[in-house]
Chain A
């Protein structure tokens, strides 16, 4: 009887370690909104969620929001590297709305900049990772490398650089419906394999403009990673889920103005995860229960 019991204990221990290990392997962290890659321009520090409750536009995680131009393999990225570099596929996320560009962007501090957010899927393979509709709406235009999905209020969600487009102009889609595959289509040229995602919205006092995308994506990604019955599923109703207070990690790469300094130094704590994980508490409870059993037996 002892051998099976010991084997069971080992199996349980391994399972617990696996849970704890996997939870800490790829914790989701993100830089603050407006914290662009150093030297890539001045971001917009804005905590508003311009499209609350959207479905994350890539079907499955992990996914990585960062700059395709200033990342590995980009025109302004680190020299002698390529787009499949592991750093491009790691956390934390980086905002790249308002990253340096030449044309008007009225909501950017510099008056010009990048219109949306670059998102890499789980790998650098093109034509593999599915994109999905962020909202219920209608496909209003398909260009050679763009697909526009428009919600009833006129807010438009732009999906760029896809291949295997799965929708047609005029088609009504539901939140979570397939849109295409993440790729590198770019008007006869090739860009890195990523989804460029815009939110184009009529803002009172400004007009129809590209609004900040980053925190809408953060919120939707957190829901994708940790769905609840009321949020993030295809069947979920449009009202936004109550967002958890964001925990924002600052990385040293950014030299742009960012929100207030950290309350505690992450390096000192030795912990980097921003999402609560149940595994440690479960492990603590089990451990204490086992010690309790030992104590009870000794008393007998």
Chain B
């Protein structure tokens, strides 16, 4: 009997303590919008095939003087040919250890330049959110309006081109002393020198 009484007492005490877990602490419950977006595919416009910059392609595949790896030319051609959006690449800067990823709705090209990491991405898939008003860029990038931002020292430019959304990031290994991450100049020079190197619509 004592044991049963003990159990009854302690269980009821635990119930009282448990108040902390589920009673009316509810404050301002609000519905979260989970029907978040409608994924749409941009109508990609393809530059004329004559605009393909073969030198920029060759630069991605060429052996590196610093010994870093390049992308094999066959692999590079195959990847570019699969891209669902026009692939852009730097025409003057040579990326060390370049990498090109082509998946789903996007391509991504990355590599290093003297301690700075360059990451370029283009995607044709856009998320359309109800109630989210369009916002025009406040910078002119590649003859259109775009954005330039800094994220934890990483400089980012983004813009629309060919019906796709592009962005370029520049990240410095030495954030304190590398002047390329102290202003937008280097980032903007990368954006300006991007040229068309192909894609599935080529």
Identify B25's interface contact among A105, A151, A272, CB under 8 A. A272
Partner-contacting stretch, out of A79-87, A142-150, A225-233: A142-150
Within the complex, the shortest CB–CB distance from B38 to chain A, in Å, comes to: 8
- Chain-B contact segment, one of A58-66, A120-128, A174-182, A243-251: A243-251
Q: B28 contacts which of A107, A201, A261, A271 (Cβ < 8 Å)? A: A261
A201 touching B127, Cβ below 8 Å: yes
CA distance A168 to B150 in the complex (A): 24
A17 and B13 within 8 A (CB): yes
Is the beta-carbon distance between A262 and B18 smaller than 8 angstroms? no
**Complex alpha-carbon distance, A21 and B20, angstroms:** 9
Q: Is the CB of B119 within 8 A of A264?
A: no
Binding site secondary structure of chain B: mixed
Contact B31 A143 (CB under 8 A): no
**Given A141-B119, A209-B158, A260-B30, A116 and B151 touching (CB < 8 A)?**
yes
Tell whether A74 is near chain B: CB-to-CB under 8 Å.
Answer: no
B159 sits at the interface (CB 8 A):
yes
- Given A156-B121, A271-B25, A273-B21: A48 in contact with B129 (beta carbons within 8 A): yes
Contacting A at CB under 8 A, from B26-59, are 26-34, 36-37, 39-40
* Nearest CB in chain B: distance from A206 CB, A: 5
B106 within 8 A of A: yes
Give chain B residues whose Cβ lies under 8 Å from the Cβ of A279.
14, 18, 21
Given contacts A49-B34, A259-B28, A280-B15, is CB(A140)–CB(B101) below 8 Å? yes
Within 8 A of B (CB), among A99-124: 101-107, 111-112, 115-116
| A window 189-246: CB within 8 A of B | 189, 191, 196, 198, 200-210, 215, 219, 240, 242-243, 245-246
Measured CA separation A269–B23 after assembly (Å): 8
B60-68, B86-94, B134-142, B193-201: which one contacts chain A? Answer: B134-142
Give chain B nearest CB distance to A137 CB in angstroms: 8
Binary B-proximity of A138-173 (CB < 8 A = 1, otherwise 0) = 101111111010111111101011000000011000
Least Cβ distance of A39 to chain B in Å? 21
Within 8 A of B (CB), among A41-58: 47-50, 52
Given contacts A249-B25, A280-B19, A284-B11, could you give 13 more A-B pairs where the C-beta distance is less than 8 Å? A20-B17, A47-B33, A48-B129, A104-B148, A144-B117, A186-B152, A189-B175, A204-B128, A205-B133, A207-B159, A250-B28, A263-B29, A294-B8
